[in-house]
Structure 1
Amino acid sequence: MDEYMRNPCPWRIVDDCGGAFTMGLIGGSLFQGIKGYRNAPIGLNKRLLGSMAAIKERGPITGGHFAVWGGLFSTFDCTLVHLRGKEDPWNSIMSGALTGATLAMRQGTASVITSGVIGAVFLGLIEGMSILITQFSAQEFRPISPLDMPEHMGNQQQQQGG
């Protein structure tokens, strides 16, 4: 992503927090709605009421968890951009590791290390896929030279062969 198109760092944190909350709220509501429907007593009205109750109770909590993750990640990302003086995929990978480790702080050292490694690997996969997609899409828009044209290649083979 072009660094000039992104919001400046203090606003990026708030923006990412809100986006993460929205994603968590929508995804959590869908998940909790299905879970509430399945766990409710038999009968369509009871199942729908159970679904709505689960959405109201747990949907905002899931959104809040996502917002905390998004806020921490953006805070670490902005801090690393400031400290390192550049914006590259390593900032995201390190931010994922720091976010995972920070969220696991209360569960002990082993959990901190495990969550940090998982966060780094997860963000590394996301950044790697992003780079691959960018490279493939850039090749699609690469200008074609006349030497790459199929009809020119056919004429060139005829001239060489005979």
Structure 2
Amino acid sequence: MATPELPENFREPCPDRILDDIGGAFGMGAVGGSAFHFIKGLYNSPGGHRLSGAFQGVRMNAPRVGGSFAVWGSLFSTFDCTLVYARQKEDPWNSIVAGAATGGLLQVRQGLRASSRSALAGGVLLALIEGLGITFNKFMSRQQDMPLVIEDQIPDKSSETMSSSWFGGWFGGKKEEEAKGFKTESPVGMPFGTAEEILL
């Protein structure tokens, strides 16, 4: 039984999408936070204890960074699904507005000015991401729609004759002359062989 082809930008349906995005965001935050805090711990630890300091930095900070990313992913997906349900349409505007709402809500404890700046930053960031995604998809679909052009290559006779004449003068001149010449058989009873042998 063949599985149906899924489009490239396929995402899970909305209730499942939230859990999927939480897990993906936590994974990205944990891996990225591990790399960042490993290097930071390696750099800031005293000599002789750099490796243990790097692992301690990862152990203390990577879960926190992963959790922060998971919170951001859960809020973003919740806002995105809410907008899909409210508008009955799934397009890039949902992601842009969801990014702005997520950024604003996460900074609401810092005050109105910080919240509005964070909302603007989240909206701009998601607009850039969506714009790049649309551009990339259009470019890839244009590449797939282009017909394949297969050109038959005609062998270049001039290069063959040049290479054979250059090499022919040094290495294979006699064989080439023999190939160009012809032999005639002597009539029966001629004691000297072929006509070419007589001339030589």
Normalization by structure 1: what TM-score?
0.85
The answer for the alignment partner of 1:154 in structure 2 is: none
More helix by percentage = 1
Alignment of 1:87-126 (within 5 A): 87-126=90-129
Q: What is the DSSP-based 3-state SS (H/G/I as helix, E as strand, rest coil) of the residue aligned with 1:141?
A: helix
Alignment of 1:1-150 (within 5 A): 2=7, 5-43=10-48, 46-144=49-147
- Post-superposition shift, 1:144? 3.3
The answer for the alignment partner of 1:158 in structure 2 is: none
Structure 1 distance, partners of 2:7, 2:102, is 23
- Post-superposition shift, 1:3? 9.2
Normalization by structure 2: what TM-score?
0.69
Q: Paired residues, what number?
A: 147
- Post-superposition shift, 1:5? 3.3
Unaligned runs of 5+ in 1: 151-162
- Post-superposition shift, 1:142? 1.1
Structure 2 distance, partners of 1:3, 1:113, is 34
- Report percent identity of matched pairs: 50
The answer for the alignment partner of 2:156 in structure 1 is: none
Greater relative contact order (Cα 8 A, min sep 6): structure 1 or 2?
1
